[in-house]
Amino acid sequence: MTPEAPRGPSTGDVEVKYGFTAVTYDPQNLPLRYQFDWADGREAEWSKYVPSGEPTKMAHAWLTAGAYGVRVRSQNVAGRQSELSPRHVITIGSQSEGYPDTIIATIDVGGTPHGIVGLTNHAYVYVCNEIDHGICVVNTDELRVVKTIECGDDAWQITASPDDRRVYVANHYGNTVKVISTETNSVVATVPVGDCPHAMACTPGSERVYAANINDNSVSVIRTSDNTVIATVAVGHGPRGLCILPSGEYVYTANTEGSVTVIRTQDNAVVKTIPVDGYAHRAAASSDGQFVYISNAYSDAVAVIRTRDNTLVTTLPVPSGPCGGCGLPNADYAYISCPDAGYLTVIRTSDNTVADNIKVGGGCRAVTTSGSGDRVYTADHEAGRVSVLARR
């Protein structure tokens, strides 16, 4: 009965009305009405009742520029009301060149959050809590922890399948990857991998997960249909970071010896090794897949690799201790967390320059985005919290 995300435009102007459509089905086939949450604090009216399955359209105008996550709920004639739907983000005003740059909330998750990942189409973020050996599930619409999942063996890094069905947790000292069902928020499988798994990434079609094993210099390839390791790929010394291009064609590992290994996913063959300066710590791809960003943790720099020819094209100075990173969906920006200095560095991917350094504090060790890119979330290791950034 809960509707899917409403359909409507993604951009618009201030004080101009824009229409959004909602539809869902009532289990008893009763007539339904709809109420939109326009995300601007203004009270929304209910629509008229319409037959179950018939779309309803309502319009709204926003008075100030910004990114707004529009949601909708339904109610049948018997008074049964649904939960709010996932968000459809509309950006109002001259925000097309902007990026989330302002902390709008912090969420206490306790312990020492180490890794973080957001779902693509649902309003949830999953946070690894290293000391507490668990995963905090954060509802990003309500800005609160809604569940804690016991995982054991030092949960360090985390990734999610693009279809939002599974979350994968690297148990650093357990030499396993835990598989969590997002439907039940429970562990449904444990996969033995290499020695000290760390960074992971899932292919765009959610068929495979790649896990970097620091102590045996390898990457485990997990087939997600049956949670089986189908290949082990030898890479450089100490692979601590890993990312997959949006196309799914190549995997990049950041090796602490000062190299990047490129794996072709078609046959899991190593096709290139790229030398980089310093202690390569994490890897993140731009949203268009043209560049990969390698955090050099002890050199206070980010190496930029052009993926079309796997060439190191520049090195960007950043604040102390660059660590995790992510590309901003559908935008020319990437974020690098710098926990020692307490900053998020924003890289403009169109020209590979540093666009901003945003003060976050709390030892922001990892960063992720919402599926639409309207928000950014950091795992603040020393502060035991998640910081939420939006565009203001």
Percentage of residues of the chain with pLDDT beyond 90: 78
Look-up of token digits 């010896």:
257
- Mind listing the pLDDT tens digit for each residue in 239-298? 999 999 999 999 999 999 999 999 999 999 999 999 998 899 999 999 999 999 999 988
Distance CA 179, CA 208 (A): 12
Look-up of token digits 């206490």:
108
Give the mean pLDDT of 299-305. Answer: 94
Give the mean pLDDT of 88-93. Answer: 77
Distance CA 182, CA 21 (A): 27
Burial 362-374 (b: 16+ CB within 10 A, else e): bbbbbbbbbbbbb
Q: Is pLDDT above 80 for 226? A: yes
Distance CA 260, CA 305 (A): 9
Look-up of token digits 């306790």:
110
Distance CA 40, CA 37 (A): 8
Q: How far is CA 368 from the centre of its chain?
A: 4
Q: Which residues contact 26 (CB under 8 A, 6 or more apart)?
A: 1, 32, 52, 74, 76
Q: How much is the pLDDT for 142?
A: 84
- Rg of the Cα atoms in the chain: 21
- Mind listing the pLDDT tens digit for each residue in 180-210? 999 999 999 999 999 999 999 999 999 999 9
Domains and CATH numbers, the chain: 11-92 (2.60.40.10), 102-390 (2.130.10.10)
- Mind listing the pLDDT tens digit for each residue in 103-161? 989 999 988 999 999 999 888 999 998 777 689 999 998 889 999 999 877 888 999 99
State the chain's mean pLDDT as an integer.
93
Q: What DSSP string runs through 186-240?
A: EEEEEEE-SSSEEEEEE-TTSSEEEEEETTTTEEEEEETTTTEEEEEEE-SSSEE
- CA-nearest of 305, 306, 345 to 323 is 345
Give the mean pLDDT of 2-9. Answer: 92
Q: Does the pTM of the predicted model rise above 0.85?
A: no
pLDDT band at 96 (very low <50, low <70, confident <90, very high): very low
